[in-house]
Amino acid sequence: MSIPVRDAASLTRHRLLEGCLPTPSFVEMRIVIAKPGLDGHDRGAKVIARALRDGGHEVVYTGLRKTPEEIVRIVMDEDATALGLSTLSGAHEVLVPAICNGLRDEGLSEVVVFAGGIIPSGDHDSLHDQGVRAIFGPGTRTSEILDCLETTSQRIESGQSVGIGENSGWRWG
């Protein structure tokens, strides 16, 4: 049975549903997945890193317990398009703004930042105000994160602002 696909992202999603690995030519973004602070639980970050890689993205996982400065340096060194932050410890109110400010200070305002983990809904607005474009909580399907990145990629291609320092006001969801 043939399923029509309209673009590379749809083909990649179809291949995932069929259990096939995506073709490397469909790599859309270079994404850093990071665990800031002292939080030692990284299973979710590893699952997301794997899902994004299987979805056709190039993914760099930083490992545990990175400082904001280390994360900014890794994003810079890896020439990343996006940064995913995983936080479970409740330190997101301090660590995420420090990372966003560090990215802006280093001239990386075009980097797209998204976050996941245990982040109370009452804290979402302050993180969005820092430039975080998407926040994913427990139970989020990996397909939703892939959809967010597809939309982000389309916005970048069309010249629309998506980065943390571009003050577009855009956010996913």
Q: For each of the chain's 173 residues, which pLDDT tens digit applies?
A: 334 445 555 555 554 555 555 444 344 899 999 999 998 889 999 999 999 999 999 999 999 999 999 999 999 999 999 999 999 888 999 999 999 999 999 999 999 999 999 999 999 999 999 999 999 999 999 999 999 999 999 999 999 999 999 988 899 97
Give the pLDDT score at 131. Answer: 93
Q: Is residue 48 part of a domain?
A: yes
Give the pLDDT score at 162. Answer: 94
Q: Is residue 18 part of a domain?
A: no
Give the pLDDT score at 19. Answer: 55
Count the domains in the chain. 1
Domain, as residue range, for 115: 24-149
Residues 90 and 5: their CA atoms lie apart, in Å, by: 41
Q: Is residue 158 part of a domain?
A: no
Give the pLDDT score at 39. Answer: 83
Q: Is residue 8 part of a domain?
A: no
Give the pLDDT score at 17. Answer: 54
Give the pLDDT score at 167. Answer: 83
Q: Is residue 138 part of a domain?
A: yes
Give the pLDDT score at 27. Answer: 46
Contact between 34 and 82 under an 8 Å Cβ cutoff? The reply is no
Give the pLDDT score at 9. Answer: 54
Q: Is residue 79 part of a domain?
A: yes
Q: Is residue 2 part of a domain?
A: no
Give the domain CATH number at 88: 3.40.50.280
Q: Is residue 141 part of a domain?
A: yes
